[in-house]
Amino acid sequence: MSRVLRRICVFCGSSAGADPAYGRSVRELGAVFAESGLSLVYGGGNVGLMGELARSVLRRDVEVIGVIPRRIHEAVEPLQLSELHVVDNMHERKAMMYELSDAFVVLPGGIGTVEEFFEIYTWYQLGIHLKPIGLFNVREYFGKLLEFVDHMVCEGFLKAAHRKALVIETDPRVLMAGLRDTELTYINKLD
Q: Quick: pLDDT tens for 71-89.
A: 999 998 889 999 999 999 9
pLDDT in tens, 119-175: 999 999 999 999 999 999 999 999 999 999 999 999 999 999 999 999 999 999 999
Average pLDDT on 41-69 reads 97
Q: Report which DSSP code applies to 1.
A: -
Give the span between the Cα atoms of 36 and 69, in whole angstroms: 29
Paired with 167 in beta bridges are 134
Q: Which helix (H) or strand (E) holds 9?
A: strand 7-11
Sheet strands side by side (includes 83-87): 83-87, 64-69, 39-42, 7-11, 103-106, 133-136, 167-169
Mean pLDDT, residues 13-25: 97
Question: Which residues share a beta bridge with 39?
Answer: 7
* Domain 7-181, classified CATH 3.40.50.150, yes or no: no
Q: How confident is the model over 178-189, as a mean pLDDT?
A: 84
- The answer to whether the CB of 63 falls within 8 A of the CB of 81 is no
pLDDT of residue 187: 77
Considering the entire predicted model, what is its pTM? 0.95
